[in-house]
Amino acid sequence: MAKMQGPGAYRYKLGDYQLTALFDGIWYLPIDGKFVHNASGAQVDEALTAAFLPPHILPISFTALLVNTGAKLILIDTGTAGQITDTAGVMLDNLKVAGIAPADIDMILISHFHPDHIDGIKTKDGAKVFPQAEIFVPEPEWAFWMDDANMGRHSGTVHRYFLNARRIFSDIAKEVHRFKPGAEVAPGIESIAAYGHTPGHTAFAIHSGGHSMLAMSDTVREPFLFVRYPQWQPSYDMDGPLAATTRSQMLDRAAADRMPVEAYHFPFPACGHIVKAASGFALEPAMWAPL
Ligand SMILES: [Zn+2]
């Protein structure tokens, strides 16, 4: 019997661009009845059971997205670097499977400063993993997390996120480009203010050759809970009501425009379409296809 899963690198086309989904792993996070502020533990367990998942455990899948424009290799978010759980941290192995070395990456786009999105920028020892990549982060995200007064107002897990943001960014601050959400941050890549999950949380729309895809970042996380019940407010959304409004609007846009979507915490390869359902929406996952 094999002890290892096969590789997780999946390529697909968007216009003239080639996208590669790079699997990083799954974190099986135990949750209690307080995980969703406006739904009971029993309702959350019911939604997990409906998706054939065990109760009280949230499977948090991680998939980074690589965009090859033909001229540049752009990585959107960077994986956990094995620093969050021992069942995640294989993104670099899958990058290698895709035939790409870390030094080949030209640009890194960051959606927000939660550790699972930025930890991959550095090794545990503080060395840069992508030595040639220029790093781009949302300006309001930088302003919130790098402010010492804000850090002083938070304790516990969120305080640790502030310290982690400093570990990643402090000594490279001068090299980090800060963009205003709404700006085109790379050829064909438009940033979209999607606040709520964090104060400066940003999604992206990727456009090429008349085709467009929404890279939703953490606007919509586990689909069996938050595509189905977009109004549910999980404890990891820092502003629950704002995040729920942002989420509903983005799902509405994706369904109305029949736009392909991608999201960091969707099941690998983390892409598909959104359709209206009796309650909320549903994810129609993409089908494995040859290039
Ligand atoms: Zn995340």
Q: What is the pLDDT of residue 234?
A: 98
Measured over all CA atoms, what is the biggest interatomic distance in the chain, rounded to whole angstroms? 54
Separation of 264 CA from ligand 1 center, angstroms? 7
Q: From the CA of 32, how far away is ligand 1's center (Å)? A: 19
- How many residues are listed for the chain in this entry? 291
User: What pTM was computed for the model?
Assistant: 0.97
How many other CB atoms sit within 10 Å of the CB of residue 125? 5
Q: Given this model, what pLDDT does residue 4 score? A: 87
Q: What is the C-alpha to C-alpha distance for residues 236 and 114, in angstroms, rounded to an integer?
A: 10
Rounded to the nearest angstrom, the distance between the alpha carbon of 81 and the centre of ligand 1 is 13
Quote the pLDDT of residue 186.
Answer: 97
How many Å lie between the centroid of ligand 1 and the Cα of residue 265? 7
Cα 273 to averaged position of ligand 1 atoms, centre (Å): 20
Per-residue pLDDT at 279: 87
Backbone angles phi and psi of 42, in degrees to 5: -65, -40
219 CB-near residues (< 8 Å, 6+ apart)? 194, 196, 197, 201, 203, 243, 246, 247, 250, 263
Q: Which regions of the chain are under pLDDT 70?
A: none
pLDDT given at position 281: 98
> What pLDDT is recorded for position 269?
98
CA of 282 to the centre of ligand 1 (A): 20
